[in-house]
A and B are shown apart, each in its own frame.
Chain A
């Protein structure tokens, strides 16, 4: 099969970029003034609905950390005139599925309902959103589950690392604590706290709606009012700005495990920054998904120090981080940390070779249309576009933004956003030769 190389290279060069899926988004505004973005897909008889309410667990009242999270976990546990069991029986009988989740910046609701019983299924969802019961027995039962989760997180290296990093980076902001709350705050939550959290988090003026599947724009309009029309307007105070407060250094959290988990961070770049696309492309080359990134190549493929390593931009609504992560045996962790630092310094100073840029653009533009497979995936994209305040035409222009990134852009953003001296590594494990303190001086190259 010696013909393969020539053939492959030729094929790779000749094929044009894949066609973008014909995603036709309609904006639907109900009589009651609620707006949704819709992609009609009648070929499978169900519809996926994604709701995104801005605000989220950041709205937890002082001393009430965990209220939004517990409230979201209770929406399905009794609503309207059905207790928890009757609600579950009705949902299962209609084969509908509902998901409720709290994040710091938002709460989200996901629903998949069959065409054959759509009205009945959405009436159930409406009850969960608008008139949850919050019965004391259900509160106590679900609270115990949340407390068990908190206890579990205390012995999970991944959760320990995330919580430690958050606390160090945002000491004076909700971002700095876990949205599940602590044993103390969760144990003290009352029904009134949950009612207040419900009123603050689920409001009709802060909701974005994405819908994909077997439904028309005409059918969707009235349905939006039935589902969301009875929700209140927002009254919760604004969440304060978040200040990233962490300097470079190493924080070791002693934990008995053969492998250390390493999470690193410095300040990042906001989603609406004009350098976001160059930064996104640069990060893909440096530590993005797949096997080809610089971090994967140098730390896994060449040295076998880890099973996986990556870096990621974390733009939140109120602050941005640039983070990365890997796990490595305790005796190899210090070496791997040093390689990350070397790579960070090298790319900040020297940028990245142009051929890597071309490969990254081909990948990112080619991979984009592949995200649009499945109703739930598309509904999720529609809602996150709205949450990021992107225009409805964004899909058609997104790849142009990637293609427009130049080597000069990459070099500029690398200098601007990579901060080797501000890297802070949180290490959970028992790593040889690493201690809490400032970053050690880089070894001299001689």
Chain B
């Protein structure tokens, strides 16, 4: 009987929860490798409990597109202890709400409940980390649900169909080319065994991060985590996360889609762009501010001010960049021209704005306004418990650390005009771009047949 006692003693001798750069945030790691982040906010007796797995659609085996998202649905279909749908029923019976989400780099599960229900949520989430039980009827019905989800989100929306097609040619080799929800012909063929294999491989404490935010005591969270998640064995065979990588991109690509449902045609261009890396977020910070400078405001950004306000050539302009990603991401620009102006002209306007930025640089006042907003977003951001928790979850599953998240505002603050222009020079490389025209068919014209 010595061994179990020794094990218990080991478990209790955890390192004390680590303080971080934000005094409301602490971290700890369970002996089985499960990391945890606790965010204290005592304004209301509410807690958000999340488990984030380091697995997403970009980690799927070839030919099995959609399995990560489909498994997320199946995680509500019961375990050895809970019947189908019972998980959500118990959460609702506590007055809570629950849901889940799948992206390229992560799969997350969360509940929002009164803070004294945290232990119960952990108990149930720990249960379905290893003890999922699926029956074939539920499996088939849920596959129909996923197909309806795809029809609703993608196939009914020309903008979404076009985004899927553009993405497929943006990435030549990396699985970011494949839609998260899956290609329809592959979703239809997914099997129960596919889901079980994926689950067994990726759902384990050493591949998961626990995030608890709200009216909690970090020491109590650690005690509960040890009780509920601590007994789950790590997966010793967990493989490192290596995906097919992008080769050098050497030619610009173009796509044009016509659809009767398009009322306001637009041109959209995305460039392959670097993402935030642990300990090296400077380039991503410059690109984040570049997006604001070019298209962050319809009144004061370069594209908005010039094309929407001064020239009146565009109905809408935007620039977008999301740096939180495990592998290479994209930087994008959109111009929706006013009626009567062609997409070729709109594309020329877009190029002219890039050239103007590179030639004339950035007004000091504009950069200062953007930084004031970045500083303020730290204050406003503290108002949303779920937003703070999600921010950490996305970052951690994208290969960043808690320190990286906390350093990010200071790195943004330090970005200079030179940094932004240098990043712009690097990112605006047509050989790494996809330019898309989404438009409607020309009105039918009389054809003369010979």
Contact = CB atoms under 8 A, between A and B. Distances in A.
Contacts of A259: 148, 151-152, 155-156
A290 B88 contact: yes
A46 B380 contact: yes
B31 to A, nearest CB: 18
A373 B315 contact: no
A362 interface: yes
Interface stretch (A145-153, A238-246, A265-273, A406-414): A145-153
B85 A301 contact: yes
Interface in A266-312: 289-292, 297, 300-308
Interface string A359-381: 10011111111101111100000
Interface residues of B, number: 79
A46 B370 CA distance: 18
B81 interface: yes
Interface string B108-145: 00001110110110011011000100000000111111
Given A1-B81, A1-B131, A89-B365, A373 B44 contact: yes
Given A259-B152, A304-B142, A373-B46, A363 B80 contact: no
Given A84-B299, A145-B316, A363-B95, A292 B89 contact: yes
Interface stretch (A13-21, A62-70, A186-194): A13-21
A12 B385 CA distance: 25
B297 A4 contact: no
Contact of A155 (B112, B263, B375): B263
A4 B261 CA distance: 51
Interface in B349-379: 365, 368-370, 372-373, 375-377, 379
A156 B383 CA distance: 34
B61 interface: no
B334 to A, nearest CB: 14
Contacts of B300: 85, 88-89, 92
Given A95-B372, A144-B338, A145-B316, A306 B148 contact: yes
Interface string A145-170: 10010011011110000000000000
Interface string B238-279: 000000000000000000000011111000000000000000
Contacts of B379: 44-46, 114
B246 to A, nearest CB: 32
Contacts of A301: 84-85, 141
B127 A4 contact: yes
Contacts of B147: 329
A257 interface: yes
Max chain B C-beta neighbours (<10 A), residue from A21, A87, A141, A304: A304
B151 A258 contact: yes
A93 B369 contact: yes
Contact of B97 (A45, A258, A290, A362): A290
A2 interface: yes
Contacts of A329: 147-148, 151
Contact of B117 (A15, A155, A291): A15
Contacts of B141: 301-304
Nearest to B308: A141
B402 interface: no
B142 A15 contact: no
A370 B148 contact: no
B312 interface: yes
Nearest to B119: A11
Contact of A374 (B93, B119, B120, B383): B383
Contacts of B43: 41, 43, 373
A369 B45 contact: yes
Contact of A362 (B80, B94, B142): B94
A440 B315 CA distance: 46
Contact of B46 (A7, A365, A369): A369
25 contacts: A8-B124, A15-B120, A18-B113, A21-B44, A21-B46, A46-B380, A85-B299, A85-B300, A85-B309, A93-B368, A114-B376, A148-B336, A154-B263, A155-B260, A155-B261, A292-B89, A301-B85, A306-B148, A307-B153, A327-B152, A365-B95, A370-B46, A370-B112, A370-B113, A373-B385
Given A45-B379, A364-B95, A370-B97, 14 more contacts: A11-B119, A15-B116, A44-B379, A84-B309, A95-B375, A259-B152, A259-B156, A290-B97, A291-B88, A303-B141, A304-B142, A304-B148, A307-B148, A329-B147
Listed from nearest, the 5 A-B pairs whose CB atoms lie closest are: A366-B95, A304-B144, A18-B114, A95-B376, A88-B299
Interface of B: 43-46, 76, 79-82, 84-85, 88-90, 92-97, 112-114, 116-117, 119-120, 123-124, 126-127, 131, 140-149, 151-153, 155-156, 260-264, 297, 299-300, 305, 308-309, 312, 315-316, 336, 338-339, 365, 368-370, 372-373, 375-377, 379-380, 382-385
